[in-house]
Amino acid sequence: MAKQEDQFKKVLSHAKEYGYVFQSSEIYDGLSAVYDYAQNGVELKKNIREYWWKAMVQMHENIVGIDASILMHPTTWKASGHVDAFNDPLIDNKDSKKRYRADVLIEDYCAKIEGKIDKEVKKAEKRFGDTFNKEEFVATNGRVLGYFEKINSILSRMGASLEKEDLADVKALIEELEISDPLTGSKNWTEVKQFNLMFGTKLGASAETAMDLYLRPETAQGIFVNFLNVQKTGRMKIPFGIAQTGKAFRNEIVARQFIFRMREFEQMEMQFFVKPGTQKEWYTAWKETRMKWHLSLGMGAENYRFHDHDKLAHYADAAADIEFKFPFGFKELEGIHSRTDFDLKAHEEFSGKKLQYFDHEENKSYTPYVVETSIGLDRMFLAVFSNALQEEELENGTTRTVLRLPSVLAPFKAAVLPLVKKDGLPEVAREILNDLKWDFNVFYDEKDAVGKRYRRQDANGTPFCITVDHQTLEDKTVTIRHRDTMEQSRVSISDLKTIIDQEVNAKTWLQKI
């Protein structure tokens, strides 16, 4: 646990020190759970967004994008169910005055039991050595099975109680499990209450005529209300998808995990409209496609897992999360939801407008079913960034900090470094930079010894360093150094573009899918 916390602290300080993420309004002591992306962070974030957009929109003939507004007609949120049901169960600790999400307290309790399972597995692994069969052990060991049973019974009771809105039972469960305030250890809890997460605002000049609006809590509804416009103008045939990326706002109860849970964040969502009855197949297919997208980035298959939901949202007939191993454990990174025809039907009812699709092959109209993939851009940023940050022991006994970002996502693809600040080397370096910058984001640095500059680029995640030295003046070659291996080779200036492109091009990465 302490190791995890240490790693998380390192992530926070590296993100600030290297210009990735700043606390919003820091000079006023910040605003809780609101963050700004800094000069490098904005590049990484943009590259993640583009990598998603390429895979989802550009690579699919039947998926198009839109960019809907943050402000929408308030009836949207009545129809979608957010006004009535976009609630989280909150509980306060009377002694510490800290507020928690009751379901998260219970889930964290279960995560601790999972930690015990991991310990049992590790112990057995040591004991049995090479002959150890993890799957068999987990399926047969009495103690491990007992832990699994306990987790299942807790989560299904919580799911059932939340479903029935039986908040008294959620509190009873917290008390029975003797869950205490993680910060103070106090078990003095208030009742559990529902709390609506939407931010309200007003449209209009005078108080009397102003209209109450909400900042959108998800981008999906902007897609649903545009469904027919896009289908008609794009002449889209089912199955087809509409994708968008954009800001969403939630007045989160607990927001203590950096950019994992923010009050203003960005989503990358795709709604896939299918023929009723085929939604299960598409749901399974999109689960697989999305997992492959994650794996294409090479961040380690062991760091992902699916979590199928027991408790379904009011609109869903199946739902799963792709969870990622963040520095604080496995948590939701992306949701894949089979949303049925709930949203389109609801908008039809509330707007009085028909939102149906005419299927020429079947010669009939119907309301399509929807499978949604929804990923938080900021969470993806945290996944990529925290996974990339490593400290490495070198052969000479020193350590280096290296940010092993997938090179397709790195803010800068290369740094051009004149070996010394004289003899015409900076001029040649700038020439190289000016040529490469048409294709890539490239950094120039001539300050400090070259070894120090290499380390700065390692810590900043730059995949290549290009060093211009005296030999460059003679034969138009440079040294190219790879961030991950630190290997250096001599290459011709005219080959640089191809070498970099092969490594950082989205095609190289996405073709792994």
Binding stretches for ligand ATP (CB under 6 A): 218, 250, 252, 261-262, 265, 267, 332-335, 374-376, 378-379
- Please say which residue, 333 or 344, places its beta carbon nearer to ligand ATP: 333
CB 54 within 8 A of CB 159: no
Q: What is the SS3 assignment for 198-227? A: CEEEEECCCCCCCEEEEECCCCHHHHHCCH
- Please say which residue, 380 or 496, places its beta carbon nearer to ligand ATP: 380
**Rounded least distance, CB 218 to ligand ATP, Å:** 6
Q: Which two tokens stand for residue 210?
A: 């102003």
CB 197 within 8 A of CB 217: yes
User: Which residues does 152 contact at the CB level (< 8 Å), separation at least 6?
Assistant: none
Q: How far is CA 238 from the centre of its chain?
A: 28
- Please say which residue, 76 or 460, places its beta carbon nearer to ligand ATP: 76
**Rounded least distance, CB 275 to ligand ATP, Å:** 24
Give the residue nearest to ligand ATP (CB): 376
- Alpha carbons within 13 angstroms on the beta-carbon side of residue 413 total 22
**Rounded least distance, CB 30 to ligand ATP, Å:** 16
- Please say which residue, 200 or 234, places its beta carbon nearer to ligand ATP: 200
SS3 397: coil
- State the Cα–Cα distance between residues 325 and 425, nearest whole angstrom: 45
DSSP per position, 483-504: TTT--EEEEEGGGHHHHHHHHH
- Please say which residue, 375 or 414, places its beta carbon nearer to ligand ATP: 375
CB 234 within 8 A of CB 287: no
- Please say which residue, 114 or 252, places its beta carbon nearer to ligand ATP: 252
CB 460 within 8 A of CB 466: no
- Please say which residue, 197 or 491, places its beta carbon nearer to ligand ATP: 197
**Rounded least distance, CB 294 to ligand ATP, Å:** 12
**Rounded least distance, CB 427 to ligand ATP, Å:** 46
- Please say which residue, 337 or 481, places its beta carbon nearer to ligand ATP: 337
**Rounded least distance, CB 103 to ligand ATP, Å:** 8
**Rounded least distance, CB 334 to ligand ATP, Å:** 5
Instruction: Tell me how many degrees the CA angle 275-277-281 measures, rounded to the nearest 5.
Output: 90
CB 477 within 8 A of CB 449: no
